[in-house]
Structure 1
Amino acid sequence: MTSPSNVEPSGVPAAAPPTGAQTGAPADYPPSIAAGRGMFGVHGTGDTSGFGGLRRRRAVELDSPRPFGGYFDEVVDGLEEAYPGFDDAIERVVVDRGELTLHVVPERIAEVAQIMRDDPALRFELLSSVSGVDYLGSDGRRLHAVYHLTSMTFRRRIRLEAAVTAEDPHLPSVTKVYPTADWQERETYDMFGIVFDGHPNLTRILMPDDWEGFPQRKDYPLGGVPVEYKGAEIPPPDQRRSYQ
């Protein structure tokens, strides 16, 4: 009885490259395609993060046509009926991947949130999160604040989104409507530099108070930041060795 080719005479499995791997130093990488180049498959550099060669087209979000489906039509109709400034405040309505997103004029975000919470036909009592997104390279309003609302009464979820420029990143705070937004807006400010006017204490929450820059902006340097207490420096990703 012969042993498999990948087993040593001693019975210990022999080292073998994984199926489909490409040979080459410093490590084997799976084949990459143009659409995914640079993210978790980049090779030829020491960039272990994948961001250095990332090339991906961003889809253009257009108004979704009615009917939206499910309870989305009821939510939009309810807001339009309860809020006289609907046409001036809502830039577009997008249904994508099973989610309803209302893109709101920045100056009106607190007004819309108030209606979403208080109107009997809507009753979105819970703001579960406020987060930021940086669409670097898109239009001038690259910084987006995203609000996830939940109706405990009707068991519904929607998203509000407001976009501002990096030069004037100001949005009204929604803390008077949703007290949970207090630390959530602080984190979004800390990471993205979006300023929430009217917040009771808009200070950093993750980074030191004297930290310069906003770490989750896409143009924030990936490395070269001095490490406190150690006297060392983190090199940029493209200068690090690849992990084996």
Structure 2
Amino acid sequence: MLNDIVEKIHEKFGEGVVERIETQHLQPILIVKADFLLDLCLHLRDTEGLYFDFLSNISAVDYYPEAKFEIVYHLTSIPYQRQLVLKVELFNDRNPDGLPQVPSVAQVWRTADWHEREAFDLMGVFFSNHPDLRRILLPDDWQGYPLRKDYKDPESYHGIAIK
């Protein structure tokens, strides 16, 4: 199964798209380059024999103290009863003015809209070309990204003590 998926990806994009393959987990994982993410996701959704029509989750992982983040996409092909995980590794100097960035896949799967907003809000990952990238759980004026490992809790918010 995994070999068929990787072969169809290589036929379309060449071998440079997939950086690594991990098979020791419950679902196979393809670590892919961010530059190809949108086109790859469209290919995975629209190609006969693949048809990954359902995005169940997007998560962000912080590898602090390294300057590394991972964005993880859990895909399912309902007609073919297959699951696949895509990962994109992002490197960022943790400067608040320059967030780690990856292309949005909201135009591929509508559910990505909400998942990407959550990853932006809590982990500070910027999804380029997202249709409405703004905070979803925290107030618009909240400073920082609370699920990052280097996040410092504020002492107060609008004069209200936070404990």
Question: TM-score of the superposition, structure 2-length normalised?
Answer: 0.89
Taking the aligned partners of 1:110 and 1:102, their CA distance within structure 2 comes to: 14
2:156 maps to which residue?
226
Whether 2:55 is the aligned partner of 1:127: answer yes
1:79 maps to which residue?
9
Q: Look up the equivalent residue of 2:14 and give its one-letter code.
A: F
Task: Determine which structure has the larger strand proportion and give its number.
Answer: 2
- Tell me the SS of whatever aligns to 2:23: strand
* Structure showing greater Rg: 1
Q: Look up the equivalent residue of 1:232 and give its one-letter code.
A: A
The 5-angstrom pairing of residues 101-140 of structure 1 reads: 101-138=29-66, 140=67
Structure 1 unmatched runs, 5+: 1-70, 235-244
1:164 maps to which residue?
90
Query: Deviation above 6 Å: which 4+ runs of structure 1?
Result: none
Cα deviations by residue, 1:153-172 (Å, 9 ceiling, x for unpaired): 11010111112123451111
State the percentage of identical aligned residues. Answer: 35
- Tell me the SS of whatever aligns to 2:119: helix
Q: Look up the equivalent residue of 1:148 and give its one-letter code.
A: H
CA contact under 8 A between 1:129 and 1:184: conserved in structure 2? yes
Taking the aligned partners of 1:99 and 1:80, their CA distance within structure 2 comes to: 20
Taking the aligned partners of 2:44 and 2:61, their CA distance within structure 1 comes to: 22
Deviation at 1:123, TM superposition (A): 0.6
Taking the aligned partners of 2:3 and 2:15, their CA distance within structure 1 comes to: 16
Whether 2:116 is the aligned partner of 1:185: answer yes
Deviation at 1:224, TM superposition (A): 5.0
1:144 maps to which residue?
70
1:24 maps to which residue?
none
